[in-house]
């Protein structure tokens, strides 16, 4: 295997893993507060269409002639719009489960349906149009060399994902506010009894998770595939949910878990491009070529199920979960 192929594979895995990492980081904070939001997929789709639409509209040639700075800032404004769309979507979920006391699982699934429907509706106006990918902002000279691409060949959202994982770990484990959030997730009644606003903490956590999911969705429509397509997140929000469990609700493990799933997503693309013929003996190529492309497409989801099943069999499936996860907050009278 050549160095060029290795570098290309690494870059692809990073790109495929980043949206999962972003969404899982937000969901980790949400679940640490004791709320189970299964609507990650819906919030990602809301962010995907919002980010794409704002980027496309801000980069309109007529508008760019009048406001040149707007076109230059279009991708950044798209990311902000995606975060806002995800946060607003999460507020619907928060209102249902935190204010009205609705079932968290049912409300999360409803949010997936809502996000899928609203993104498809808004997206009809953007079918067949393209935007400039939100690629590296570094000078081309830095990313020209293959080795340089490993450090400077990514979208700014990749570096943002790394930063947010580190920030989430620091916040949850090293700050007083993070301690309060974890206390709310572990024993909401005790946190309430000493004066902390359980509902307020959970609302803020849910909004943060929604914003991160929205940015994760924007990564699909602005970086990976700068074209709009319905359901373009392809179920990656469910993998992000599994990743939180896989990481044991620890921020430090999210990075490794995201790249674990990213490898299997890369294998799908590698198989479709008949890449096995370049690195495997002919006998093995025949075996791998026999497997249909649908098998490789299902591998990330299959691995998520296998990992969760193994963790449950070992008694670790929920051992590290916050004690109040998924439970409604009903303060004592």
Total of domains in the chain: 1
In a domain, 10, yes or no: yes
pLDDT at residue number 333: 46
Tokens of residue 99, six digits: 């204010």
In a domain, 48, yes or no: yes
How many CB atoms lie under 10 A from the CB of residue 172?
20
Residue 71 sits in a domain of what CATH number?
1.10.3470
Token look-up 């409300």 returns 107
Per-residue pLDDT of the chain (333 residues; tens, 9 = 90+): 567 777 778 888 899 999 999 999 999 999 999 999 999 999 999 999 999 999 999 887 777 677 777 878 899 999 999 999 999 999 999 999 999 999 999 999 999 999 999 999 999 999 888 898 888 777 777 766 667 778 788 899 999 999 999 999 999 999 999 999 999 999 999 999 999 999 999 999 999 999 999 999 999 999 998 889 889 998 899 999 999 998 889 998 899 989 988 888 887 777 665 555 455 555 555 555 666 767 777 877 887 888 777 777 665 555 678 999 989 888 764
pLDDT at residue number 282: 58
In a domain, 327, yes or no: no
pLDDT at residue number 288: 57
Residue 333 to residue 330: CA distance in whole angstroms: 9
In a domain, 329, yes or no: no
For residue 237, give Cα distances in angstroms to 41, 142, 154, 206, 253: 4, 33, 22, 15, 18
Residue 238 near residue 71 (C-beta atoms within 8 A): no
pLDDT at residue number 290: 61
Residue 5 to residue 147: CA distance in whole angstroms: 12
In a domain, 136, yes or no: yes
Residue 37 near residue 30 (C-beta atoms within 8 A): yes
Tokens of residue 7, six digits: 């570098």
In a domain, 181, yes or no: yes
pLDDT at residue number 84: 97
Q: Encode 238-249: b = buried (16+ Cβ within 10 Å), e = exposed.
A: bbbbbbbbbbeb
In a domain, 109, yes or no: yes
Its domain, for residue 70, covers 3-313
């Amino acid at each position: 295997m050549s160095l060029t192929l290795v570098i290309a594979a690494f870059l692809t895995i990073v790109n495929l893993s980043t949206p999962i990492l972003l969404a899982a980081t937000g969901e980790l904070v949400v679940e640490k507060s004791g709320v189970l939001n299964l609507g990650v997929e819906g919030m990602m789709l809301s962010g995907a269409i919002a980010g794409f639409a704002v980027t496309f509209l801000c980069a309109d040639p007529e508008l760019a002639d009048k406001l040149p700075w707007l076109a230059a800032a279009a991708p950044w404004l798209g990311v902000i719009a995606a975060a806002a769309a995800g946060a607003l979507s999460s507020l619907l979920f928060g209102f249902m489960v935190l204010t009205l006391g609705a079932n968290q699982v049912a409300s999360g699934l409803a949010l997936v349906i809502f996000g899928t429907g609203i993104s498809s509706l808004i997206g009809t106006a953007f079918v067949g149009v393209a935007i400039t990918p939100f690629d590296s902002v570094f000078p081309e000279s830095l990313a020209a060399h293959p080795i340089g691409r490993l450090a400077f060949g990514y979208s700014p959202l990749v570096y943002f994902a790394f930063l947010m994982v580190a920030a989430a770990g620091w916040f949850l484990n090293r700050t007083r506010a993070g301690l309060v959030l974890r206390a709310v997730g572990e024993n909401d009644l005790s946190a309430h009894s000493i004066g902390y606003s359980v509902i307020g903490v959970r609302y803020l956590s849910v909004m943060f998770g929604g914003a991160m999911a929205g940015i994760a969705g924007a990564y699909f429509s602005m970086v990976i595939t700068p074209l709009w397509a319905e359901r373009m997140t392809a179920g990656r929000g469910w993998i992000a949910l599994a990743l939180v469990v896989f990481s044991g609700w620890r921020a430090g493990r999210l990075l490794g878990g995201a790249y674990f799933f990213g490898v299997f997503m890369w294998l799908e693309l590698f198989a479709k491009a008949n890449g096995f013929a370049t690195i495997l003996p002919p006998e093995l190529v025949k075996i791998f070529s026999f497997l249909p492309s649908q098998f490789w497409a299902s591998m990330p989801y299959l691995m998520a199920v296998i990992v969760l099943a193994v963790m449950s069999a070992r008694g670790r499936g929920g051992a590290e979960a916050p004690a109040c996860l998924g439970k409604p907050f009903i303060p004592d009278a």
